[in-house]
Structure 1
Amino acid sequence: MTNRKLYLGPLTDNRRWDMVKIRPDDIFVVTPPKCGTTWMQTIVALLLSGNPDVETELSVRMPWVDIRIREMTEVAARLEAMSHRRSMKSHTPMDGLPQHDQAHYICVFRHPLDAHFSYRKHVRNIPMPWFDLWYPEDDTDGITFRRFLDGGAEGFDTDAMPLAHILQHYKAAAALADRHNVTLFHYADMTRDLSGTFSKLADLLGLTYSTSVMEQLVQVATFDNMKANAERYAPSGGKGFMKSDSEFFHSGSSGKWRGKLTDQEIAAYDAMMDAHLEPAERAWLEYGSNEHAVT
């Protein structure tokens, strides 16, 4: 943990990275939850293989190292035994991850309110009653959004994904964005131009395919295809981890929070965003490269 910030939550522990021997060609997919993690992991898997029929098995082949569900000795041994180019997932901000000058860090972000409302759906789809403390099913008093705004970036609040944690993710990644091996992507840009996302990532990772192969890979990673084959593309799909694999890919759209928050809630969110980010930073975190997005 030398020179790394500690992120220790009820479900996750970034000290687990101490057992991973980082390789120069490793790829880290680093995101707050529900910001396109599985989508980006799938894109990486497709590009590394060049095979539209590749079995992704993300939870095993591209593991979420931070989470405590699997014994870290087993995860570390499995990673060490891999002879191919590896990719790993993390919901830990960049300042809590091991840094390697050659490994690639792919950081993905999404409008914080879209991520929050997607997370609300997600916690109803997984058998972890701990989340009921933050995300009560019958939330007539608005507890969920208050905790989203009030929660801290570390400690017990971390795994409930409060706004502070999303902001910490963004600031930690942006602070390193001038490095050659750290790249920020945005969910909205991926949605607007999936082919461009594939091309950009292929260039970053030094991978080249014919136009026809790239077209096939892009088609596999469309939302409709991943939802239609959810047991294949959802994390631990087909294993009964979630109540519904298909529901993991609920809609893939943005802006579903509109009309669901009071004026006071929106004002409180705006105040927190403006207190922590410059206008240009906020515009990118919410809408990506589309500077003229309608708010």
Structure 2
Amino acid sequence: MAHRKLYLGPLTDNRRWDRITIRPDDVLVVTPPKCGTTWMQTIVALLISGDPEVDTELSVKMPWVDIRLREIDEVAARMEQLTTRRSMKSHTPMDGLPMDDRAQYLCVFRHPLDAHFSYRRHLRNTPLRLLDMWYPEDDTDGLTFRRFLDGGPEGFDTDAMPLAVILRHYTAAAALAERPNVSLFHYADMSRDLPGTFARVAGLLGITHPPGLMEQLIAAASFDHMKAHAERYAPSGGKGFFTSDTEFFHSGTSGKWRGQLSEAELAQYDAMMDAQLGPGDRRWLEYGAASSA
């Protein structure tokens, strides 16, 4: 953990990364929750395999290393035994991860309010009740959004994903963005141009496929295809972990938060965003590269 921040929540512990020996061709997908993690993992799995029918089995083959639900001895041993190119995911900000100049770090972001409302729905689809105090099912007083704005980036709050966690993820990744192996992606840009996203990721990973095969891989990663085959693409899909694998891919659209917040709540959000980010960074974090056009 030398020179790394400690992120220790009720679900996650970034010290678990100390048990993983990073390889030169490893691919780490690093995101706040509900920002396109599974989508980017699927893109990586399709590109590495070159197989549009690949069984991604993300929770086992491309594990979330931080989470405590699996014994780290088992996770580390399984990853060490892999002879093919490896990919793993993390919901820890970049300043809490081991850095290797040869591995690729793909950092994915989404409008913070879209991520927040998607996370609300996501938690109702899991059996985990650790965060019910933050996300009550009957929230007539706006408690959930107040905690989204008031929560900190570390400790228990880490796993509840308040705005401070998203901002920490972004600032930590942006501070490293000049490195050739740290790349920032935005959910909105991936939605607007999935072929362009595939081309960019393939270039970063040094992977090439014939055009016809690339078209098949891109089609396999479309939202409609992943939702129609949710038991295959959802993390732990087909194993009964989620109440509904299909619900994991609820809509894939942006702007679901519009009309859900009061003017006062939006003003508080705006004030926090403006206090933490300059105008250009804020535009990118909310709307991606197209915001600069």
Name the TM tier (shorter chain): over 0.9
Using the TM superposition, name which of 129-138 and 83-92 deviates more.
129-138
Gaps of 5+ in 1: none
> Within the alignment, does 1:158 sit opposite 2:155 as a pair?
no
Structure 2: distance between partners of 1:223 and 1:208 = 23
Structure 2: distance between partners of 1:292 and 1:48 = 32
- One-letter identity of the residue aligned with 1:85: R
Q: CA RMSD in A?
A: 0.7
- One-letter identity of the residue aligned with 1:223: F
**Match of residue 213 from structure 2:** 213
The 3-state SS of whatever aligns with 1:132 is coil
| Identity of matched residues, % | 73
How far residue 24 of structure 1 moved from its aligned partner, in angstroms, is: 0.5
> Within the alignment, does 1:175 sit opposite 2:175 as a pair?
yes
Query: Alpha-carbon deviations, 1:33-62, whole Å to 9, x = none?
Result: 000000000000000001001110000000
How far residue 129 of structure 1 moved from its aligned partner, in angstroms, is: 1.4
How far residue 236 of structure 1 moved from its aligned partner, in angstroms, is: 0.1
Structure 1: distance between partners of 2:134 and 2:175 = 30
- One-letter identity of the residue aligned with 1:278: G
How far residue 131 of structure 1 moved from its aligned partner, in angstroms, is: 1.7
- One-letter identity of the residue aligned with 1:27: V
Q: TM-score, normalised by structure 1?
A: 0.99
**Match of residue 32 from structure 2:** 32
1:51-130 equivalence runs, <5 A: 51-130=51-130
Structure 2: distance between partners of 1:27 and 1:271 = 36
> Within the alignment, does 1:5 sit opposite 2:5 as a pair?
yes
How far residue 292 of structure 1 moved from its aligned partner, in angstroms, is: 6.3
- One-letter identity of the residue aligned with 1:224: D
**Match of residue 17 from structure 2:** 17
Structure 2: distance between partners of 1:209 and 1:74 = 33
Q: TM-score, normalised by structure 2?
A: 0.99
Structure 2: distance between partners of 1:10 and 1:223 = 31
How far residue 178 of structure 1 moved from its aligned partner, in angstroms, is: 0.0
Query: Alpha-carbon deviations, 1:167-226, whole Å to 9, x = none?
Result: 000000000000010000000000000000000100110000111000000000000000
Gaps of 5+ in 2: none
Decide whether aligned partners of structure 1 residues 166 and 259 sit closer, same or farther in structure 2, where only a CA change above 3 A counts: same
**Paired residues of 2:93 and 2:169 also in contact (CA < 8 A):** yes
**Match of residue 263 from structure 1:** 263
The 3-state SS of whatever aligns with 1:291 is helix
- One-letter identity of the residue aligned with 1:37: T
The 3-state SS of whatever aligns with 2:28 is strand
How far residue 291 of structure 1 moved from its aligned partner, in angstroms, is: 1.7
How far residue 130 of structure 1 moved from its aligned partner, in angstroms, is: 1.4
Structure 2: distance between partners of 1:282 and 1:233 = 31
Structure 2: distance between partners of 1:172 and 1:23 = 22
Query: Alpha-carbon deviations, 1:240-289, whole Å to 9, x = none?
Result: 10000000000000001000000000000000000000000000000001
- One-letter identity of the residue aligned with 1:117: F
> Within the alignment, does 1:187 sit opposite 2:187 as a pair?
yes
Deviating beyond 2 angstroms after TM superposition, the runs of 4 or more aligned structure 1 residues are: none
> Within the alignment, does 1:279 sit opposite 2:279 as a pair?
yes
Query: Alpha-carbon deviations, 1:91-117, whole Å to 9, x = none?
Result: 000000000010000000000000000
Structure 1: distance between partners of 2:201 and 2:290 = 19
Structure 1: distance between partners of 2:15 and 2:28 = 16
Structure 2: distance between partners of 1:205 and 1:25 = 8
> Within the alignment, does 1:245 sit opposite 2:219 as a pair?
no
**Match of residue 136 from structure 2:** 136
- One-letter identity of the residue aligned with 1:205: L
Structure 1: distance between partners of 2:220 and 2:37 = 16
How far residue 146 of structure 1 moved from its aligned partner, in angstroms, is: 0.2
